[in-house]
Structure 1
Amino acid sequence: MLPGTVISQGLWWDGDGKKQRANSLTSNRLSDMGNGATFFSATVEVKRQ
């Protein structure tokens, strides 16, 4: 894993629907190069627990 990379350690169902999923980090917009997907990078804040 490269420094600065974040990996989700698992995905769990949220029964009440109040939490965000990993997919909420991605935009539904199209890229400026070829109108492709823009899900290759996302900015996140990581805090050690």
Structure 2
Amino acid sequence: MDNHNVDMCAKSKRISFIALNSFLLQLLLPLECHQILCKKDLIFLVHSG
């Protein structure tokens, strides 16, 4: 494989890695936000109660 092919291969691997990461983020972010909101609500309830 010459340098161009190696470069293209590395780029496609990087792109698929980024795509996988963004997919995982889309799955995890709602969970994270939900947990953070729940924690905020709990703290708010504790303080107001």
TM-score using structure 2 length: 0.23
The higher relative CO (CA closer than 8 Å, separation ≥ 6) is in 1
> Greater share of helix residues, 1 or 2?
2
